[in-house]
């Protein structure tokens, strides 16, 4: 199966319950599916008592189906009246996800779960794309990681520490492909001593598969007319698994809740990171060197939220696609709760160059993100034989200041904002970090650097390959002929407080931040390429220039930060051809993270990156597949340098 092909199931409904035509099987017991779920998975896994002994608990499931096991877990979790700082992460995989309509119909038969079903429906993705989607529920207390694809393939991509497995899905006789040796190998790999396993089936293939990976099993009494079920626990492994990429090893010790974190940088990346960390119970201080938040790229009146066009669904293409889908789902949810948020899901017309993006429209059309349009249906567009015309209905435009203000407004009181404070250096001693600033010394247990414009001045960040770029755009009087946003090499956003936003020029690493006539000429060219409409006289333009920082490979830098000299010394033998087994896991500067270099894609990538950091810092877990972590890891450039071999 192609990486991105996901199909919805063909269902028939029998007495209001779904039945899979493809597998010839029910989704749950017709007698009392909820009680069965409680018995097999909640009771047999002894979850409530184990939850009380842990600040964070991770459950992994095979076969999300109608979400019944997940809803039963939420019911049991919230019955314990835990403090909001206790965290539950629930991973589940599904090859044939239900449509929103079918899921709503399935959960409607469980009125006792209505509170939890409503929350699930609020975040359930409407576009189903291969890969993992991170869905925050109950103000971040619960993280649902929904992996769409083959179970073994999905779990192979992840590096998480699972506390309990729910082995569900259609019976092994109906769906032997899922119950494979490859799946049991992943269950063993992601489990630790004491990890529990529970299942409705006692089939020999399942028992043998688990026993091969050091699970001790028992057969507790079954539910209803079934004589027995399966339960067990992982024993201590006698062999230690080898890490394939120790230079990207993740810090595994989470930061205790109520510790103090300083986030440096008041743009979209910094504010989103600070907001999500505050929701998880940390004391968060947000430092911004200017007199207000959102002054550089995040200070534009409006920006597009749309997918990045790539030629194939490789790790880069899937990162940007999932970042886009996650961000849109988040913005839609915020808009539903706060109608004054200036997020406008208008759809965006895109004009991919046929020579540069030969395959991009095809694969993005296949997953339902792009739809080919006829140029004659948009008479105000400029004719261009070199491009195709695509519509992204999920896309739209956002006023960054509106989002930033809303995030600050809705954050807990544990988030404090300090402006006019420049961080000049940071230093770690055995107890904490000290930040030397324009307003004296400040101390923190952890730091997130989201200040691309200032990070190179810090000794911890001076070796990161960041490049300063200037982008000039213009605010023009609104043009009634332009009915919706359109994007190619440039972009036009109509209807922004009576203006059109026309963007943007791009110039690398210059110090002159004043508007320039040559960039106006570039913008005039963008307008003529995009639309067949009159352009306002230059006297009616309002120019704006903002900084945007990119990395050497034009991807963000997100994750834990090492000391470059220590890193190069620890992994120097890479240049001599030494393999992973030769090295210990990477050592990092304690509780120091970066979230920078989003360039012109920050409105799409900032939230996805902040989600990753919030989970990593609070739980020591990752919401990203391993390949995505490595793609954006701050140490990736140093590894590439070492792989070039020793210098003469």
pLDDT tens digits along 116-158: 999 999 999 988 999 999 999 998 899 999 999 999 999 999 9
Per the domain annotation, does 223 fall within a domain?
Answer: yes
**Judgement on whether residues 37 and 160 belong to the same structural domain of the protein:** yes
On average, the pLDDT of the chain sits at: 91
Among 234, 250, 272, give the residue marking a domain's end. 234
Parallel, antiparallel, or unpaired for β 390-392 and 348-350?
antiparallel
**Judgement on whether residues 632 and 517 belong to the same structural domain of the protein:** no
Task: Check residue 311 and give its pLDDT.
Answer: 87
The stretch 590-595 carries a mean pLDDT of 96
Task: Give the whole-angstrom CA distance, residue 533 versus residue 379.
Answer: 10
Q: How confident is residue 251, by pLDDT bands cut at 50, 70 and 90? A: confident
Three-class DSSP category at 200: coil
pLDDT in tens, 528-566: 989 998 888 878 899 998 888 999 999 999 999 999 999
Task: Give the whole-angstrom CA distance, residue 237 versus residue 195.
Answer: 12
> Which DSSP category does 171 fall into?
-
Task: Check residue 30 and give its pLDDT.
Answer: 66
Q: Into how many domains does the chain fold?
A: 3
**Judgement on whether residues 438 and 512 belong to the same structural domain of the protein:** no
How many CB atoms lie under 10 A from the CB of residue 329? 22
**Judgement on whether residues 511 and 628 belong to the same structural domain of the protein:** no
Task: Give the whole-angstrom CA distance, residue 419 versus residue 574.
Answer: 43
User: Who wins on pLDDT, 13 or 632?
Assistant: 632
Task: Give the whole-angstrom CA distance, residue 191 versus residue 179.
Answer: 17
Per the domain annotation, does 388 fall within a domain?
Answer: yes
The stretch 314-321 carries a mean pLDDT of 95
Parallel, antiparallel, or unpaired for β 592-596 and 446-449?
parallel
Q: Which domain holds residue 281?
A: 258-294+403-465+554-568+590-637
Share of the chain above pLDDT 70, in %: 96
**Judgement on whether residues 559 and 436 belong to the same structural domain of the protein:** yes
pLDDT in tens, 206-226: 999 999 999 999 999 888 777
Three-class DSSP category at 336: helix
Task: Give the whole-angstrom CA distance, residue 166 versus residue 47.
Answer: 12
**Judgement on whether residues 52 and 137 belong to the same structural domain of the protein:** yes
Helix or strand holding residue 152 (H, E):
helix 151-156
**Judgement on whether residues 604 and 487 belong to the same structural domain of the protein:** no
Task: Check residue 648 and give its pLDDT.
Answer: 47
> Which DSSP category does 96 fall into?
S
**Judgement on whether residues 505 and 452 belong to the same structural domain of the protein:** no
Share of the chain above pLDDT 90, in %: 72
pLDDT in tens, 482-534: 999 999 989 999 999 999 999 888 887 666 677 888 889 999 999 998 999 88
Q: What is the pTM of this model?
A: 0.94
Among 547, 578, 606, give the residue marking a domain's end. 547
Preceding amide of 504 cis, omega within 30? yes
The stretch 342-356 carries a mean pLDDT of 90
**Judgement on whether residues 21 and 65 belong to the same structural domain of the protein:** yes
**Judgement on whether residues 600 and 619 belong to the same structural domain of the protein:** yes
Task: Give the whole-angstrom CA distance, residue 255 versus residue 274.
Answer: 15
* Lowest mean pLDDT, pick from 12-26, 77-91, 634-648: 12-26
């Amino acid at each position: 199966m192609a990486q991105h092909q996901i199909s919805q199931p063909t269902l028939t409904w029998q007495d209001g319950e779904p039945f899979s035509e493809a597998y010839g099987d029910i989704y749950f017991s017709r007698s009392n599916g909820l009680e069965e779920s409680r018995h097999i998975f909640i009771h047999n896994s002894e979850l409530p008592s184990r939850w009380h002994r842990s600040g964070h608990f991770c459950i992994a499931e095979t076969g999300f189906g109608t979400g019944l096991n997940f809803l039963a877990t939420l019911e049991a979790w919230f019955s314990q009246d835990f403090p909001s700082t206790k965290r539950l992460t629930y991973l589940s995989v599904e090859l044939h996800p239900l449509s929103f309509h079918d899921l709503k119909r399935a959960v409607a038969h469980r009125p006792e779960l209505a509170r939890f079903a409503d929350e699930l429906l609020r975040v359930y993705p409407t576009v189903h794309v291969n890969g993992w989607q991170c869905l925050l529920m109950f103000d971040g207390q619960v993280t649902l990681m929904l992996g769409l694809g083959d179970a073994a393939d999905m779990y192979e991509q992840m590096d998480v520490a699972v506390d309990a497995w729910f082995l569900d899905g259609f019976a092994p006789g109906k769906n032997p492909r899922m119950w494979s040796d490859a799946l049991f190998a992943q269950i063993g790999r992601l489990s630790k001593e004491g990890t529990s396993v529970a299942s409705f089936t006692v089939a020999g293939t399942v028992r043998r598969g688990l026993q091969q990976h050091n699970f001790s099993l028992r057969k507790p009494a079954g539910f209803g007319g079934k004589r027995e079920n399966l339960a067990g626990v992982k024993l201590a492994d006698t062999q230690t698994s080898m890490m394939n990429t120790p230079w990207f090893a993740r810090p595994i010790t989470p930061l205790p809740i109520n510790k103090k974190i300083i986030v440096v940088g008041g743009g979209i990346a910094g504010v989103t990171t600070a907001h999500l960390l505050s929701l998880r119970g940390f004391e968060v201080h947000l430092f911004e060197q200017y007199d207000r938040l959102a002054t550089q790229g995040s200070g534009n009146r409006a920006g597009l939220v749309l997918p990045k066009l790539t030629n194939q669904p490789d790790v880069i293409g899937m990162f940007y696609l999932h970042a886009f889908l996650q961000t849109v789902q988040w913005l839609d949810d915020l808009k539903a709760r706060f109608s004054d948020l200036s997020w406008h899901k208008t759809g965006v017309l895109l004009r991919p160059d046929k020579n540069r993006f030969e395959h991009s429209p095809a694969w993005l059309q296949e997953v339902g993100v792009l739809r080919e349009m006829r140029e004659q249906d948009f008479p105000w567009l400029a004719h261009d034989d070199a491009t195709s015309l695509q519509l992204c209905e999920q896309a739209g435009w956002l006023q960054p200041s509106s989002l930033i203000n809303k995030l600050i407004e809705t954050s807990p009181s544990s988030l404090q904002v300090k402006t006019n404070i420049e961080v000049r250096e940071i230093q770690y001693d055995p107890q904490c970090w000290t930040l030397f600033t324009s307003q004296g010394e400040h101390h923190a247990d952890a730091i997130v650097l989201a200040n691309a414009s200032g990070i190179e001045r810090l000794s911890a960040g001076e070796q990161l390959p960041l490049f300063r770029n200037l982008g000039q755009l213009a605010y023009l009087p609104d043009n009634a002929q332009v009915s919706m946003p359109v994007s190619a090499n440039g972009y036009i956003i109509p209807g922004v407080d009576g203006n059109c936003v026309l963007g943007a020029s791009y110039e690398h690493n210059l110090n002159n931040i004043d508007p320039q006539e040559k960039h106006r000429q570039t913008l005039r060219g963008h307008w003529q390429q995009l639309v067949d409409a009159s352009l306002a006289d230059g006297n009616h333009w309002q120019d704006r220039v903002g900084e945007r920082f990119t990395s050497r490979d034009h991807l963000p830098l997100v994750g834990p930060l090492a000391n470059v000299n220590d890193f190069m010394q620890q992994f120097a033998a890479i240049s001599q051809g030494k393999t992973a087994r030769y090295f210990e896991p990477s050592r990092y500067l304690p509780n120091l993270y970066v979230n920078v270099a989003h360039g012109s894609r920050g409105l799409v990538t900032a939230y996805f990156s902040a989600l990753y950091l919030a989970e990593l810092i609070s739980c020591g877990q990752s919401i990203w597949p391993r390949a995505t972590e490595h793609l954006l890891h701050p140490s990736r450039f140093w590894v590439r340098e070492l792989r070039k071999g020793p210098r003469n």
